[in-house]
Amino acid sequence: MSPHAASPHARESSHIVRCPQCGKQNRLAGQVGGKQPTCGACKGPLFAAEPIKTTDAAWSRDVERSPIPVLVDFWAPWCGPCRAVAPVMDRIAAERAGRLKVLKLNVDENPQTSARFQVQAIPTMILFRDGKVLDQIRGAVPKPAIDKRLDHFGI
């Protein structure tokens, strides 16, 4: 651990991120942006280049305490427009890995979070930064429209 990570100020602005490859916990100090941070143990990327599943139970960890902005795709497997948006979410996750975390939340399996954000139609994508809603995108919109919204927030 660096001397900066041990200081009280560094602890206040740091985040613990579990490596998706090896499961080791990594402390990220300050803002993460631009460059993809890697695991101190296995050297793999700490942020997935593909959408990852989240749940009501994991919401706080995955969204509210995320060191980078999060785009959550509220969807259901039976929803045709949701299936149409899935490849777009895949591409956005890959293109913005390290700058944006893309999550998928199945509304049928996670009614608490869906109700909390008043998701009444799917697909709905909600953009969060520091656990706060920045923007909402409703419906199966094309990738350029989503990119424009993300670019507006510098993500």
Which one from 19, 22, 42, 79 is the annotated catalytic residue? 79
pLDDT attached to residue 104:
97
Extract the runs of DSSP E, i.e. beta strands, from 5-109. 14-18, 25-29, 52-53, 70-75, 101-106
Token pair for 37: 């941070």
Query: 21 and 38: one domain?
Result: yes
End-of-domain residue from the set 46, 62, 77: 46
Query: 77 and 34: one domain?
Result: no
Q: Which residues span the domain enclosing 100?
A: 52-152
pLDDT attached to residue 21:
62
pLDDT attached to residue 79:
97
Helix runs in 97-142, H state only:
111-116
- The answer to whether the beta carbons of residues 62 and 54 sit under 8 Å apart is yes
pLDDT attached to residue 32:
55
82 is catalytic: yes
**Domains identified in the chain, total number:** 2
Query: 84 and 106: one domain?
Result: yes
Query: 82 and 121: one domain?
Result: yes
19 is catalytic: no
Query: 85 and 106: one domain?
Result: yes
Query: 74 and 10: one domain?
Result: no
Query: 90 and 105: one domain?
Result: yes
Task: Map tokens 């039976």 to a residue.
Answer: 78
- The answer to whether the beta carbons of residues 126 and 146 sit under 8 Å apart is no
pLDDT attached to residue 2:
39
Nearest-angstrom CA–CA distance, 5 and 91: 33
Query: 69 and 143: one domain?
Result: yes
> Tens digit of pLDDT per residue, the chain (155 long)?
433 444 344 344 567 777 766 777 888 765 555 567 788 888 877 776 789 899 999 999 899 988 889 999 999 999 999 999 999 999 999 898 878 999 999 999 999 999 999 999 999 999 999 999 999 999 999 999 999 999 999 99
Stated pTM of the model: 0.75
Dihedral pair phi/psi, residue 11, rounded to 5°: -65, -35
